[in-house]
Structure 1
Amino acid sequence: MTKNSLRLDHVVLWVADPVAAAAFYETAVGLEPIGVAEYTEGTVPFPSVRVNEETILDLAPHGLAARMKMLPGSADSAGHPVNHVCLALPADAFDALRARLEEHGVPVSGIDSGLSGARGAATRSFYFRDPDGNVVEARHYA
């Protein structure tokens, strides 16, 4: 892990049920849940899922919005998801994710090619929604 270079640390997704969201991201997407037991015990405000060793998705309940006071108007962001979050995967993991989502009955988009991203043009990509309506893109670079 590189501690002294610019990296994306986390993205906060608003969810209705953080435990259910963590279960979805674990079973349908294959991400490791973090802090679910602590959340259910009331010792942390929300659980997360690990994307990789450097990046997590925080699964914040809508009720947490009232505590969002770091900037004026921050509480108003509850329920306003980002357009989408993109996960870049190796080819085999890309195929496995698509198959796992379909096994769980999660609708997926068609496969696009050549969409531009942080690493250039992606070989393949597709989109799906989590149970809270957050849009996730999965992509594979050659």
Structure 2
Amino acid sequence: MTKNSMRLDHVVLWVTDPVAAARFHADVVGLEPVRLTEFIEGKVPFPSVRVNEETLLDLAPRTFVDHMKMLPGAADSAGHPVNHVCLSLPAEAFDALRARLEHHGVPLSDIGHDSFGARGNAPRTFYFRDPDGNVFEARHYDD
């Protein structure tokens, strides 16, 4: 991938408590918090968690609805989460994530099979929700 190719930079999730959301995504999902200390200190407007070296999930407080003025009607979408965000992991990390979620009592879907995605068909997938109701899919590919 080159610096000039298109890729996903970030997804903004609406959350009620950004600190609690960051801790869930760090402790349970296994994502690295970004700017959490700065958010707690009031230096930045929201924290994030890192999915990989190129992609973040921004954890925007629902109170930001008043700041959604970049396009007409943008504020109307505040609080309406996307259908789901899919995280692709190696098979061992997929199993470890499922075990951590179970350990923390997070409700999980059954394992699905042969689901199509960006890299073809994934042999196993499952779904879960974060504490704010955002839906996540976890999957792994054979390679």
Q: Classify the TM-score, shorter chain.
A: over 0.9
Shift of 1:75: 1.2
Shift of 1:76: 1.4
Which runs of 4 or more aligned residues in structure 1 lie more than 3 Å from their structure 2 counterparts after TM superposition? none
Shift of 1:120: 0.7
Structure 1: tracts of 5 or more residues without a match: none
2:105 corresponding residue in structure 1: 105
2:72 corresponding residue in structure 1: 72
- Superposed CA RMSD: 0.9
1:108-132 CA distance string (max 9 Å, x none): 1100011111111111000000000
Structure 1 residue 16 and structure 2 residue 32: aligned? no
SS at match of 1:126: strand
Cα distance in structure 2, aligned partners of 1:55 and 1:2: 15
2:41 corresponding residue in structure 1: 41
Structure 1 residue 85 and structure 2 residue 91: aligned? no
Cα distance in structure 2, aligned partners of 1:94 and 1:11: 21
Alignment: residue pair count: 142
SS at match of 1:81: coil
SS at match of 2:87: strand
1:7-50 CA distance string (max 9 Å, x none): 00000000000000000000110000011111112111100000
Q: Tell me the TM-score normalized by structure 2.
A: 0.97
SS at match of 2:58: strand
Cα distance in structure 2, aligned partners of 1:125 and 1:87: 10
Q: For residue 4 of structure 2, what is the amino acid of its counterpart?
A: N
Q: For residue 119 of structure 1, what is the amino acid of its counterpart?
A: R
